[in-house]
Amino acid sequence: MKGLPEVSGGRVVTLDGPAGAGKSTVARRLALNLGWRLLDTGAMYRAVTLAALRASLDMTQEAELARLVETITVELPPSRVLLNGEDVSSLIRAAEVTEQSRFAADSPSVRRRLATWQRAFAVGNDLVTEGRDQGTLVFPQAFRKYYLTASDVERARRRSAEMAARGEPADVDDVLRSLRERDARDAARAIAPMTPAADAIIVDSTGLTIDQVVDFLAADIRDRLSLRDLSS
Ligand code: DC
C-alpha cells in the first residue's frame, strides 16, 4: 500500500479469499504446523466495527471512521483480540458486527491504519496472515501467497453448519444469498477489492477436508523453504 514503510520482517505467508472458504481454520492450523504466528486481519476490521458501534458512529461517514481509528488500539496477542486493552474476542463475532463490518472494510482511513499495524506485526515474526488483501496490497513481497476458495454453495453449507454449532441455526439458502451479496460487494469495492494476487496459488477447497488443505499448504511451504535453503 502506498506510503507505508518497507518491512524488514520475517517470512510471510498470505492466505486470502472469500468468506466461508475455511481460511480462518486453515490459517490457524497452518500457523501451528509451521510454528509461525497467526494474524487474523478480519478480526481487526471487526474490532474497529465494534468500537464504531459502541460510539454510535455514522459509519457511512469516512471522517468519523478516520477519527475513530486514530484514537483506538487493536492488538492481537495469541488467540485473543484486544480493543483498547479489553478482550473482545467473542464480542466481535456477533452477527451485528459481521453485518456492519463492510463500512470499516470500505474505509480508506481504516484500511491504511490497519495495514500499518499488520506490517508492524510482521517485523521480526514469521507469519501466516489471513484476509482479503494481504497478498495484493499489504504484503506484496510475501514469501508465499495463497487464495483459498470454494464453491459458494459449499461455503454457505459450511457457514450454516458453523452457525448451527454456535446455537444460531440459519437456513442454507439465506446464508447463500447473503454470501453472494457479500462476495459481489467485496469484489467490486473501489479500494482493496477481493481478488487473488497475480502470483497467488489458487486453492479450491470444494470437496476437500481442512486436513487435506493444511497438509497441501504445509508441504508446499516446506518445499519452498528447503529450496531457499539450498540456493542460499
Ligand atoms: O474474514 P472476516 O469475516 O472476519 O472479515 C470481517 C470483515 O473485514 C469483512 O467485511 C471483510 C473485511 N476484511 C477486509 O476487508 N480485509 C481484510 N484483510 C480482512 C477482512
pLDDT for 73-123, tens place per residue?
999 999 999 999 999 999 999 989 998 999 999 999 999 999 999 999 999
Rounded to the nearest angstrom, the distance between the alpha carbon of 229 and the centre of ligand 1 is 34
What is the pLDDT, as a whole number, of residue 231? 66
Cα 53 to Cα 58: distance, rounded to the nearest angstrom? 9
Residues 6+ apart with CB under 8 A from 229: none
Cell readout for 132 is 482479503
Q: Which of 1, 74, 81, 101 to mutate to test the pocket of ligand 1 (most atoms within 8 A of CB)?
A: 101
Rounded to the nearest angstrom, the distance between the alpha carbon of 205 and the centre of ligand 1 is 19
Cα 98 to Cα 205: distance, rounded to the nearest angstrom? 23
pLDDT lower than 70: segments of the chain: 1-9, 229-232
Cell readout for 45 is 476490521
How many other C-beta atoms lie within 10 A of the C-beta of residue 94? 16
Residues 6+ apart with CB under 8 A from 86: none
Cβ–ligand 1 distance for 45 under 6 Å, the answer: yes
Spans of all domains in the chain: 12-218
What is the pLDDT, as a whole number, of residue 226? 86
Matching CATH number, 12-218, of 3.30.310.50, 3.40.190.10, 3.40.50.300, 3.30.1050.10: 3.40.50.300
Rounded to the nearest angstrom, the distance between the alpha carbon of 119 and the centre of ligand 1 is 16
β 74-75/37-40 pair status: unpaired
Cβ–ligand 1 distance for 46 under 6 Å, the answer: yes
Burial class (CB in 10 A: 0-12, 13-18, 19+), 54: exposed
- Provide the CA 156 distance to its chain's centre, in angstroms: 18
What is the pLDDT, as a whole number, of residue 230? 65
SS3 131: strand
Cell readout for 192 is 482493496
